[in-house]
């Protein structure tokens, strides 16, 4: 059976003529229980992701940005069920079908993962240095029984060339490559099963700036050519500008602002987005933004502050900000933010 046919048959129990975004996430939560004492009593939760809702369209890039510890990596992993969700719903819509990812059995989720791949942050620790590039990229083809022998070698060589590596890279060990080249191997590995959706988890954060630009260009070219959708996770807003269709800003497990790349960069409405953007260097010296310092660290998701979670660090917080969490307000057809002052 061809890979395409198997993908068609992936879900037989829930199909419909579904239109809409490729991925829709509603109220996704991922809590890590805290247990204490000899009876492992449940005494609380680390609320890493606390009710996230977002959509990623066909051939679209949604960037999820925020400081370290805001829950964005946990969100990406939970969506692909590398971590089991605590609550919520994630719908995947390939070819007019509708698949509820969080309800799939292990076997069906394994099939779904052919379409839903991940590129990891650290190209040094995410690739086994004792394996060759050919083994790493070909592993998924072997595990899923899609290709073997000469056919597998051919496909892997094509993938290595497609991501900008030499075809004779097949037999070289991962430790022989530079950081940028290793990340290209990680991208080839993610592409091996012809996915439609890729979570890029800080995929360029560990690379030098010049290499970052090359890898971002490669991801953009691959998106155009293979009609891919990306959830691009990053802590650095300047990195996501070129690649993103839309940007969602996360703070302490929740989205505080979402909008098109242009809206978020030119007219950020949430004080946290404004503070993040004020630290981004601007190419046009006439369009200077007043620097808004972010003091203190992101509070612990184990014990989030009452009211608006950003209130202890917000430069314009008012009394009621400390009392109730703000509702998300729609500011344009594509921009929304959660702040009492809007
Ligand atoms: Fe700042 Fe209040 Fe808006 Fe929160 S709700 S971002 S504390 S102004």
Please choose, from the candidates 62, 78, 51, 85, the residue with its C-alpha nearest in 3D space to the C-alpha of residue 301. Answer: 51
Q: How far is the CA of 71 from the centre of ligand 1 (A)?
A: 19
Looking at residue 1, its pLDDT comes to: 44
Are the beta carbons of 203 and 121 closer than 8 angstroms?
yes
Rg (CA), the chain: 21
Q: Cα–Cα–Cα angle for 67, 215, 7, nearest 5°?
A: 90
Are the beta carbons of 304 and 47 closer than 8 angstroms?
yes
Q: How far is the CA of 221 from the centre of ligand 1 (A)?
A: 39
Task: Using the atom order of ligand 1, give the atom closest to the CA of residue 309.
Answer: 4
- Distance, in Å, from the CA atom of 276 to the CA atom of 175, rounded to the nearest integer, reads 35
Q: Is the CB of 268 under 6 A from ligand 1?
A: no
Are the beta carbons of 5 and 61 closer than 8 angstroms?
no
Are the beta carbons of 170 and 153 closer than 8 angstroms?
yes
Looking at residue 218, its pLDDT comes to: 94
Q: Is the CB of 252 under 6 A from ligand 1?
A: no
Looking at residue 9, its pLDDT comes to: 47
Q: Is the CB of 338 under 6 A from ligand 1?
A: no
Q: Is the CB of 314 under 6 A from ligand 1?
A: yes
For CA atoms 151, 157, 158, 160, the dihedral sign is positive
Ramachandran bin of 170, using left for φ above 0, alpha for ψ from -120 to 50, beta for the remaining angles: alpha
Q: How far is the CA of 254 from the centre of ligand 1 (A)?
A: 14
Q: Is the CB of 234 under 6 A from ligand 1?
A: no
- Distance, in Å, from the CA atom of 191 to the CA atom of 198, rounded to the nearest integer, reads 9
Ligand 1, atom 3, residue with closest C-alpha: 339
Probe target for ligand 1 pocket from 314, 318, 327, 337, with the most ligand atoms within 8 Å of CB: 314
Q: How far is the CA of 321 from the centre of ligand 1 (A)?
A: 6
Q: How far is the CA of 305 from the centre of ligand 1 (A)?
A: 12
Task: Using the atom order of ligand 1, give the atom closest to the CA of residue 271.
Answer: 6
Please choose, from the candidates 334, 56, 282, the residue with its C-alpha nearest in 3D space to the C-alpha of residue 64. Answer: 56
| Residue 236: CA count within 13 A, CB half-sphere | 13
Q: Is the CB of 311 under 6 A from ligand 1?
A: yes
Q: Is the CB of 62 under 6 A from ligand 1?
A: no
Looking at residue 330, its pLDDT comes to: 96
Per-residue pLDDT of the chain (342 residues; tens, 9 = 90+): 444 444 544 443 444 444 689 999 999 999 999 998 888 898 888 999 999 999 999 999 999 999 888 899 999 999 999 999 999 999 999 988 899 999 999 889 988 989 999 998 876 777 887 889 999 999 988 988 888 888 899 999 999 999 999 878 888 888 888 888 989 999 999 999 999 999 999 888 878 888 888 999 999 999 999 999 999 999 888 888 888 999 999 999 999 999 999 999 999 999 999 999 887 766 665 666 677 777 777 788 888 889 999 999 998 999 999 999 999 999 999 999 999 998
**Structural domains of the chain in order of their starting residue, each with its CATH number:** 22-115+195-338 (3.40.50.300)
Q: Is 87 exposed, middle or buried (0-12, 13-18, 19+ CB in 10 A)?
A: middle
Q: Is the CB of 308 under 6 A from ligand 1?
A: yes
Strands (E) across the chain are located at: 23-36, 41-56, 61-65, 87-92, 99-100, 116-119, 197-201, 229-234, 246-251, 254-260, 328-330, 336-338
Q: Is the CB of 79 under 6 A from ligand 1?
A: no
Helix (H) or strand (E) holding 133: helix 133-143
DSSP state string for 279-322:
TS--S-GGG--------SPPPPTTSPPSSSTTGGG-TT--GGGG
């Amino acid at each position: 059976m061809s890979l395409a046919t198997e993908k068609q048959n992936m879900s037989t129990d829930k199909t419909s003529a579904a239109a809409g975004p490729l991925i829709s996430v509603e109220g996704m939560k991922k809590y890590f229980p805290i247990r204490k004492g000899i009876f492992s009593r449940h005494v609380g939760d680390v609320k890493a992701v606390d009710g996230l809702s977002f959509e990623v369209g066909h051939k679209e890039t949604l960037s999820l940005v925020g400081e370290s510890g805001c829950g964005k990596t946990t969100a990406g992993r939970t969506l692909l069920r590398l971590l089991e969700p605590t609550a919520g719903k994630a719908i995947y819509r390939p070819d007019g079908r509708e698949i509820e990812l969080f309800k799939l059995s292990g076997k069906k989720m394994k099939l779904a993962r052919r379409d839903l791949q991940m590129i990891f942050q650290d190209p040094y620790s995410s690739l086994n240095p004792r394996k060759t590039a050919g083994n790493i990229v070909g592993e998924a083809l072997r595990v899923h029984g899609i290709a073997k022998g000469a056919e597998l070698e051919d496909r892997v060589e094509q993938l290595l060339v497609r991501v900008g590596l030499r075809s004779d890279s097949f037999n070289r060990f991962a430790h022989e490559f530079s950081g940028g080249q290793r990340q290209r191997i990680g991208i080839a590995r993610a592409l091996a099963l012809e996915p439609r959706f890729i979570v890029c988890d800080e995929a360029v954060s560990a690379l030098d700036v010049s290499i970052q630009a090359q890898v971002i260009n490669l991801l953009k070219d691959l998106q155009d050519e293979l009609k891919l959708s990306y959830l691009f996770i990053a802590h650095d807003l300047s990195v996501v500008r070129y690649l993103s269709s839309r940007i969602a800003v996360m703070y302490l497990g929740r989205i505080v602002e979402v909008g098109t790349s242009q809206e978020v960069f030119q007219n950020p409405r949430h004080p946290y987005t404004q503070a993040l953007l004020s630290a981004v260097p601007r190419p046009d010296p006439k369009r200077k933004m007043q620097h808004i310092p972010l003091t203190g660290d992101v509070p612990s998701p184990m014990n989030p502050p009452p009211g608006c979670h950003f209130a202890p660090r917000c430069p314009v917080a008012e009394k009621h900000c400390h009392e109730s969490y703000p509702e998300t307000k729609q500011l344009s057809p594509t921009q929304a933010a959660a702040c009492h002052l809007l």
